[in-house]
Structure 1
Amino acid sequence: MRTIRRLAPTLCLVLALTACADADAPEPSGAAAPGTPAAADAASSAAGSAPAGDSTPVSAKEVCAYLDGQLPTLRGIGSETGTMANLTVNLYSWYEKQGAVPTGRQIDDQTRQECPATRTEVLELAGMESFERL
């Protein structure tokens, strides 16, 4: 019960961020109907493919250093759902401060090349196979 009380605010924030992101996402063009996996993929690619403003993308080294620093916190959470919620909120916030929010696929590509062991541990703790789930 205590864990649920601790996770409730985080989960609410994740849901709110998801709702805001969906409301601001451009409508995908093409034959994919809203709500289909193809439409969801198109919307997430369109929303996260370009850096915000004139900023440069975050380097793979910076992403890996951030994730390495987050590992002690993520290990201490104790549940995949809580870890995923924490990772979603904190990683998105960190990227916003850097000025560019990449797609999950871009994060996967960077972490596969630069820090595969860290990537694997973070994803396992969050119960995910890929950062595309974020």
Structure 2
Amino acid sequence: MLLCSALALTACSGTETAAPAHNPDSSTLAAATAKARPSNDATTVSAADLCGYLRGRLPALRAIDSDVGRMGNLTVNLYSWYEKQGAVPTGAQIDDQTQKECPDIRAELLKISGMQSFATL
């Protein structure tokens, strides 16, 4: 339900979405579906890459004037970013990586989004 709310909130926030593929055949569709399928293997995305991404998102998140809006924006954009990387970890895995690599960025993101941890995403 949180993800649905986040999607609804960010739909008007200017986040970009990819255009649908033009008439894919069944093999193209199957390959795309397999590639988009989330994985719980966060080890394919380095903590340094994650922290760099989060650091870059901070200015946009600071500009949103509500905790719920920031959380929704962060949820959608972080999920999209991870999907492009080929891995969608759990919130606990994100917490582990950010606690070790960039605790200052993690603390600010959680504070401005009104969250206790990334596990709430």
Give the alignment partner of residue 110 of structure 1, picking from 88, 97, 109.
Answer: 97
Retained in 2: the 8 A contact 1:56–1:99? no
Listed one character per residue, the Cα deviations across residues 41-62 of structure 1 (whole Å, up to 9, x for unaligned) are xxxxxxx7633xxx96200000
Q: Give me the TM-score of the superposition, normalised by structure 2.
A: 0.68
Query: Quick one: distance in 2 between partners of 1:56 and 1:95?
Result: 12
Retained in 1: the 8 A contact 2:70–2:113? yes
Per-residue deviation at 1:10?
Answer: 2.8
Structure 2 spans left out of the alignment, 5+ residues: 1-5, 13-37
Per-residue deviation at 1:63?
Answer: 0.4
Query: Quick one: distance in 2 between partners of 1:49 and 1:9?
Result: 24
* Superposition misfits of 4+ residues, deviation over 2 angstroms: 7-13, 48-51
2:20 paired residue number: none
Letter in 1 for 2:40: A
Sequence identity percentage: 58
The within-5 A match list for 1:1-134 is 9-10=8-9, 50-51=40-41, 57-134=44-121
Query: Quick one: distance in 1 between partners of 2:65 and 2:9?
Result: 14
Letter in 2 for 1:10: L
**Looking at both structures, which has the greater relative contact order when contacts are Cα pairs under 8 Å and sequence separation is at least 6?**
2
Number of residue pairs matched? 92
